[in-house]
Chain A
């Protein structure tokens, strides 16, 4: 177990290093002169020079990369060029919208997908299975941002159950915060739940065909007992992989969905930064998102080992 955890930890660090190099390269090397890019064609030479020294462009590339990464490790993400405020502070406000949204959506995804997938697998080929599979087939095809628009049209504009957008904040209590995240979370979660339910079903059906299920049945377990006690835990292994990928998808998808619901999250920040050509903000927010995704996948890797004893021994 120790060795497995250490192995995953090393792989986590490597991923972070490679990811930061890729992002750094794309943002600070590819455009040529980032300062010129940020200021556009009509920049005055003295402004350009000022920005260049502010960005540290007089330093060598490795020095800049090193300064950027060590800064982030100490919580210093640099200064936004457009707002003249520390990026860390801007992120800190917004991360408490985006991260809860992604986690909320992930929870909904799992809560919907697990029962649906298990139900469909246990009713294989019967009407219930066909119904669930038909619904998921449709769910997979729905773009989440369009689904979000439909939800707004129905629940906010027609029925007026929810406000059409904006975020109540966490100060008013957990519930009111969650309420303003509910529609966006549902919009994000349903299409992903459709995918996860299908994976759950097929993974369970694979397991139900395994020899050890026959052994369990020979012990006197009913089909249902064999599914719950033996197939489910084995079926979780591929399901976990998908959940890891889905978190990344939900976090990124949230950036788009935030636009529709006017949520003050990282999405708005990143789009504002893109239109203002504020590359430093873009770079830092992207790195933060990638960091979260990599850490979540690390947690998923550890969960694997909890589910599958064979992993605990492997190198």
Chain B
């Protein structure tokens, strides 16, 4: 079978970043905790492939460490979204039209109506900045995405004859949800999960950029950009490198999502907001 080109490109980019993040667990080209003011703001060279920042830290090592933060935050946020959203969506679909369904869906609408970044700001303002609060803030807004999607596609299955046949065979709604519906919407969830993962990376970058994400000494792309802001005119690479890292990783994940969709089921529709 021929793999979609977007899957190959996207998969390559995603693996590159995943590999870099995994590698950073054991080894980075330089230790980013050692500051060297003498070698600060160097442009990319053979010594420092991506140059150094205002404190003389190796940018490649920083990007690798930052990837780890991004992936961890986004992955956990998707986990929260799927872990709560999918069961809620299945439940709402199984009890369609009931009060429970109404409550779940209205709750979703309400979360959608909140400007997500504002709520993230509120949360961190009260609970303090940090990676954990960023994960929770991003994760909350993933819940209605998965809940709606799950409910919508589960509903289309509930009206199918094979579900009726399962009901005639005496199977309970929860059993049908797990045995028949979940496997059939798994593809959709994988594709949407990839998209939410990429959105999570963008959200993490935004939060850490305004200082509400992971706190130093944990490296993060958003914080690198925030630090680079005043230096952008002197040393553009300090701003370009982390930005490009975000763009390439998100691009890779999105392409992979599209490719997976083409591969698994071209009829799948994803939400991308």
Contact = CB atoms under 8 A, between A and B. Distances in A.
A253 interface: yes
A145 B273 contact: no
A294 B110 CA distance: 9
B126 A27 contact: yes
A222 interface: no
Interface residues of B, number: 43
B273 A149 contact: no
A242 interface: yes
Chain B contact residues, majority secondary structure: helix
Interface string A136-147: 011011111110
Contacts, number: 130
A145 B206 contact: yes
A145 B236 contact: no
B134 interface: no
Interface string B134-160: 000000000000000000000000000
B198 A141 contact: yes
A18 B110 contact: yes
Interface stretch (B15-23, B114-122, B184-192): B114-122
Interface in B95-124: 106, 109-110, 112-119, 121-124
Contacts of B242: 146
Contacts of A202: 269
A144 to B, nearest CB: 8
B113 A143 contact: no
Nearest to B207: A256
A180 interface: no
Contact of B117 (A23, A153, A255): A255
Contact of A149 (B122, B125, B225, B269): B225
B272 A143 contact: no
A226 interface: no
Given A145-B206, A293-B113, A293-B114, A137 B121 contact: no
Interface of A: 11, 14-15, 18-19, 23, 26-27, 30-31, 37, 137-138, 140-146, 149-150, 152-153, 157, 195, 198-199, 202, 242, 245-246, 248-249, 251-253, 255-256, 259-260, 270-271, 274, 279, 282, 286, 289-290, 293-294, 297
Return the 7 tightest CB-CB contacts between A and B, nearest first: A252-B117, A252-B115, A141-B250, A146-B243, A141-B251, A248-B115, A274-B125
7 contacts: A15-B113, A27-B126, A138-B247, A146-B247, A251-B115, A256-B117, A274-B125
